[in-house]
Amino acid sequence: MDNYEYKELLKDVTTKMKNITGVVEPSKIQTRLTEIEELENNQDFWNDADNAAKVQKEKTQLQRKLNKYEVANSAVNDAIELYEMAQEEGDEESLEALYEDAPQLQQQIRSMEIEVLLSGESDSSNAILSIHPGAGGTESQDWAEILLRMYKRWAERRGFSIDLLDYQNGEEAGIKDASILVKGENAYGYLKAENGIHRLVRISPFDSNAKRHTSFTSVMVSPEVDDNINIVIEDKDIRIDTYRASGAGGQHVNKTESAIRITHIETGIVVQCQNDRSQHKNKATAMKMLKSRLYELELEAQKAAEDGVAKSEIGWGHQIRSYVMQPYQQIKDTRSNIAYSNISAILDGDIDKMIEDVLISQSKQ
């Protein structure tokens, strides 16, 4: 990097930081943190455990955002100050050090940009992620399992925890269906970018003729709803089926109809859970999954109304991302229009940049 490039970088990060400041509004965050501190000093505040927990969660999120903002803002100001001093004194060594640190400064600002983009009503929530293979039998079911592993590895990389809600083995390989609950800060904010159809092109390991196959898998992501979100589901609105659980869980789950499948009649949404040996617990979890899906549906409808467009149906011809293994190796996202060549790393859970590119591109639309 030369002097001209660094000056342009400083202009860019300064502009971005001003925009970020306008959205984050650090003074308002500080005012709210002061209000929360005053609430905490009132003994009556702690008598309402539910409200206290809600406010404490808000405090943690606000403090984390403010700390991250202050670090990024200081980094930009320090870089500008050091650059001006080094220029005045002709300090080439300091200038070289600034050039070397430029990528780190850019990453700090990018991270803060993502923080701003993940400030939606449900972005901080945990996420319920469901994977359903498309037509294609074993090939698509294997692709569904590859995607499931990718998201599990991503969650592990970020220090998130995972609860398995539903898992149905494929007949020969892969999975027929799977649902997981991903618990972590901004889990839904990140994973909502994965909502859609994922297309795989590769030489099938299940084809003795070694022909190329195209497979599709649907990924659906919903925010985990809490008790503050009121979604009423009456008995007449749903159909409940029980069946014997399959896969891991021991002999007990295979001998009793502990698994639950709930169909929401009006929307056609189907959720199922077989994670627990208790039918009642599986039903409670499935109902929570259904509420999350209905809430996500409402969020999508509201956004479509705001944008003045009709919500498009997810179909096998409308993939959000293509993963091509042969004849070349490339992953391309149709929303950011960016291609990636590090396929092995991505399928091993290194998907942060891919997700962030989508969030940034969508914010510019």
Output the six-digit token pair for 143. Answer: 């692709």
**What fold is seen in the domain 127-363?**
Alpha-Beta Plaits (3.30.70)
**pLDDT value of residue 264:** 93
**pLDDT value of residue 317:** 53
Output the six-digit token pair for 270. Answer: 């189907």
Output the six-digit token pair for 322. Answer: 């293509």
**pLDDT value of residue 309:** 45
Task: Output the DSSP codes for 45-106.
Answer: GGGSHHHHHHHHHHHHHHHHHHHHHHHHHHHHHHHHHHHHHHHHHT-HHHHHHHHHHHHHHH
Report the chain's terminal Cα–Cα distance, integer Å.
Answer: 31
CB 258 within 8 A of CB 243: no
Q: Does domain 3-117 have CATH number 1.20.58.410?
A: yes
CB 33 within 8 A of CB 55: no
Range list for CATH 1.20.58.410 in the chain:
3-117
Per-residue pLDDT in tens (0 to 9) along the chain, 365 residues:
888 899 999 999 999 999 899 888 999 999 999 999 999 999 899 999 989 988 998 898 899 889 999 999 999 999 999 999 999 999 999 999 999 999 999 999 998 989 888 887 788 889 999 999 987 788 999 999 999 999 999 999 999 999 998 888 888 889 988 999 999 989 999 999 999 999 999 988 877 777 888 899 999 999 988 766 678 888 898 999 888 776 544 434 445 678 899 999 988 888 888 877 888 888 988 888 888 888 888 877 776 665 554 444 444 557 899 999 988 899 999 999 999 999 999 999 999 999 999 998 887 76
**pLDDT value of residue 124:** 87
Range list for CATH 3.30.70.1660 in the chain:
127-363
**pLDDT value of residue 55:** 92
Question: What is the rounded CA–CA span in Å between residue 64 and residue 131?
Answer: 32
